[in-house]
Amino acid sequence: MNIMKILMTLFLFSFIASVQAEGLMMARTKQNFPEAMLKLQETIRSFNYEVSRVQRIDIGLTKSGYATDKYRIVFFGTEKEIALISEKYPHLIPFVPWKIAIFAEQEDTLLISADPMQFADKKHPAADKILLKWKKDIGKFMNILRKSE
Amino acid sequence: MTLSAKNHLLFSLILIFSSPLLSAKPDGEQLYTTHCSACHGADGHGGVGVPLALPDFQYGVTNDYLKKSIRLGRPGRIMPAFTQLKDDEVNAIVKYIRSWAPGKPFKYSNKKINGNVAHGKQLYQKNCASCHGSKGEGGKGTGVTFSRPRDLPIIAPALNNPGFLSSAPDLMIKTVLMNGREGTPMLSYLKLGLSEKDIDDVVSYVRSFENNIVATKSNEKLEPIISYESPNSLEKTVESIERAAIGKNFRIIRKQYLNQGLVKAGQENKKQVMIYFCNFNLLNRALAIDPRIGLFLPCRITALEKDGKVLVMASNPLYMSRLFNNEKLTKLCQEMYDVYSDIVEESTF
């Protein structure tokens, strides 16, 4: 058999195995909310993303008279990737900038994000490459937060 | 390259590529941390999910129950089915969970209990329904999560759930009823005055839930986004979206350009506008069902000008709800889908 064919098959196999969509990506960190919030933003920036906005869900709820704990949504992205998506892959526009929900759970903090590969589409391999990069990076953010004490 | 060199290279590459498949035993702690700890706690003390480290839970369930629960999840509840894990990975997770309470758990045969279902139903309604629901649908909410005041350290399991019924043998259910579960509100029914025969009847009634399992609706064909073209200018369309959202009892909380915060102030693309809105009552209800709802927040519709057309787009809440494995949330997402569709339609009329 042609060596290149075998190599391509093996590569494809390992690639597909590594990008199986997980649905939700979640992590729990032992850090309390303020520390975890800082660590998350610092981690996102260390991977060369910008934090475009932090939505303070808890503040709106409290102002409206509802009891709640600390709850924020952190939006992030890069100028280049968002520009590419809005130009060539508008079906992804409603989902960007990507976000991570972060909220207090007693003394711990929980983080949650959708797996970007949920939106992968064989018709758009270049977009899938960006989604895969986000998935891997979010996985790394979460690992860093899991290990933070 | 000679044939021998080629074969050597090929063999080496096969080894490299297949090495993950041939690697050492899976690390149960690592797998638990990645897949389970967010809900069940790093040390198994619960949170969103059952406190797995609770001694009474540990000794009351079999390894088979744990493995099946991981594999099957709890359809329609929060616990997903981990179908992507390999058998040795599931075994490693179970072994790790067991490390919190070394000792031998109960072993149960698969013997069926043939109690009186009608009598069991009466006893169930009197003694169990207040926590587990009149039809075995389980408690509401998600345990102690999102540390707002919660009544219970654990949410009563859904006894009518196909994942539970397939995982728990009759004798396991009977043992829990007889002994209760220390550290949870589940009391011993023997101590409450029920006889062993009564308990058998309750077990048979719980088992009878299997006859009423309704297949959950599949969202397979849903589109990820809701998208319409507007006949109006971008400015007018944005105004119409705001008006329509307010008309649906939502509050506009922010208008922002898509790349705002990612580019220098003043350099934003003003032809891509995100309109964020919220109904705090709806939000509060959603958070009580599942605090992970943040992935939908805040509500947003995007209006943009592209290739001479004005488009109005939103993520499809029903498509997103598939990620959550939570029937109650799916109902709420249907409500949100209707709202989004109405706003998008109204603003593009």
Q: Tell me the per-residue pLDDT of B208-236, one tens digit each, with 9 for 90 and over.
A: 999 876 655 554 678 899 999 999 999 99
Please state at what angle helix A125-147 crosses helix A33-46, rounded to 10 degrees.
140
Helix, strand or coil for residue B222? coil
Q: How far apart are CA A8 and CA A20, in angstroms?
A: 18
Among B154, B183, B212, give the residue marking a domain's end.
Answer: B212
Torsion angle, alpha carbons of B253, B258, B262, B265, to 10: -70
Query: Same domain, yes or no, for B135 and B37?
Result: yes
Q: H helices within B116-233, ranges in order? A: 117-127, 129-132, 162-167, 170-179, 196-207
Counting the structural domains of chain A, the total is: 1
Q: Are residues B290 and B152 in the same domain?
A: no
Mean pLDDT of B46-74: 89
On average, the pLDDT of chain B sits at: 87
The alpha-carbon radius of gyration of chain B (Å, integer) is 26
For residue A71, list its beta bridge partners.
A103
Residues paired with residue B299 on neighbouring β-strands, in sequence order: B277
- Mean pLDDT, to the nearest integer, of B86-109? 89
* CB proximity under 8 Å: A 86-115 to B: 86, 90-91, 93-97, 99, 101-106, 108, 110-114
Q: How confident is the model at residue B43 (pLDDT cuts 50, 70, 90)?
A: confident
Cβ-proximal residues to B15 (8 Å cutoff; 6+ apart), any chain? none
pLDDT at A23: 80
Do B229 and B310 form a contact (C-beta atoms < 8 A)? yes
CA-nearest of B185, B181, B171 to B114 is B171
Q: How big, in percent rounded to 5, are the helix, strand and coil portions of chain B?
A: 45, 10, 40
Q: Which residue has the higher pLDDT, B141 or A128?
A: A128
Q: Lowest mean pLDDT: which of A57-66, A114-123, B94-103?
A: A57-66
DSSP structure class, residue B51:
-
Question: Is residue B150's pLDDT more than 80?
Answer: no
Do both B229 and B106 map to the same domain?
no
> What is the structure's pLDDT at B310?
96
Q: Which domain range does residue A40 map to? A: 24-147
For residue B223, what are the contacts with CB-CB under 8 A and spacing of at least 6? B316, B319
- Interface residue A64 vs chain B (CB under 8 A): yes
Interface of B with A in 132-161 (CB under 8 A): 144-149
Asked if residue B169 and residue B229 are part of one domain, the reply reads no
B22 falls in which pLDDT band (50, 70, 90)? low
The residue from B212, B244, B275 where one domain ends is B212
- Packing angle between helix A125-147 and helix A79-88, nearest 10 degrees? 150
The pLDDT value recorded for residue B321 is 86
pLDDT at B87 over 90: yes
Same domain, B242 and B196: no
Q: Which residues contact B92 (CB under 8 A, 6 or more apart)?
A: B25, B26, B27, B28, B31
Indicate whether B190 and B243 sit together in one domain: no
- Are B17 and A11 inside 8 Å of each other by CB? yes
Looking at the structure, do residues B57 and B148 belong to the same domain, yes or no? yes
CB of A68 within 8 Å of a chain B CB? The answer is yes
DSSP secondary-structure letter at B44?
S
B15 lies within 8 A of chain A by CB: no
Q: Quick one: B150 and B245 in the same domain?
A: no
pLDDT in tens, B162-199: 999 999 999 999 999 999 988 888 999 999 999 999 99
Enumerate residues 6+ apart whose C-beta is below 8 A from A133.
none
> Which positions in chain A touch B298 (Cβ < 8 Å)?
55, 57, 73
- Phi, psi of A37, deg, nearest 5: -60, -45
| Residues spanned by the domain of B245 | 225-347
Nearest Cα residue to B326 out of B48, B67, B44: B48
Please report whether residue A39 resides in a domain. yes
Tokens of B70: 């991981």
Q: In this predicted model, what pLDDT tens digit does every residue of B250-303 receive, in sequence order?
A: 999 999 999 999 999 999 999 999 999 999 888 888 888 888 888 878 999 999
> Based on the structure, what is the number of domains in chain B?
2
Residues B245 and B197 in one domain: no
**CB spacing of B294 vs A73 below 8 angstroms:** yes
Q: What is the pLDDT of residues A5-55, one digit of tens each?
A: 655 555 544 443 444 456 889 999 999 999 999 999 999 999 999 999 999
Whole-number pLDDT of residue A31: 93
User: What local confidence, expressed as pLDDT, does residue A18 receive?
Assistant: 43
Cα–Cα dist B253/B278, whole Å: 7
Q: Output phi, psi for A98, to 5 deg.
A: -65, 160
More confident residue, B83 or B305: B305
If asked whether residues B32 and B154 sit together in one domain, one would say: yes
How many whole angstroms separate alpha carbon B99 and alpha carbon B94? 9
Q: How far from chain centre, in Å, is Cα B38?
A: 12
- What pLDDT was estimated at residue B174? 95
Q: Measure B91 CA to nearest chain A CA, in Å.
A: 20
Q: Of B185, B212, B239, which marks where a domain is finished?
A: B212
DSSP assignments along B297-346, one per residue = PSEEEEEEEETTEEEEEEE-HHHHHTTT--HHHHHHHHHHHHHHHHHHHH
Confidence of residue B119 (pLDDT cuts 50, 70, 90): very high
Bridge partners of B257, per DSSP, are B273
Predicted local distance difference test score (pLDDT) of residue A115:
92
**Hey, which residues 12-41 in chain A have their CB within 8 Å of chain B?**
13-14, 20, 22-24, 26-28, 30
- Domain annotation covers residue B96: yes
Who wins on pLDDT, B221 or A101? A101
CB contact under 8 Å between A79 and B313, yes or no, is: no
Q: Are B163 and B79 in contact (CB under 8 A)?
A: yes
Structure tokens at B111: 């013997």
Q: Is residue B14 part of a domain?
A: no
Q: Residue A79: what residue type?
A: E
B209-213: long-range pairs with CB below 8 Å, 24+: B209/B135, B209/B136, B209/B159, B209/B160, B209/B165, B210/B162, B210/B165, B212/B135, B212/B160, B213/B160, B213/B162, B213/B165
CATH number of the domain where residue A36 is located:
3.30.310.70
**ipTM above threshold 0.90:** no
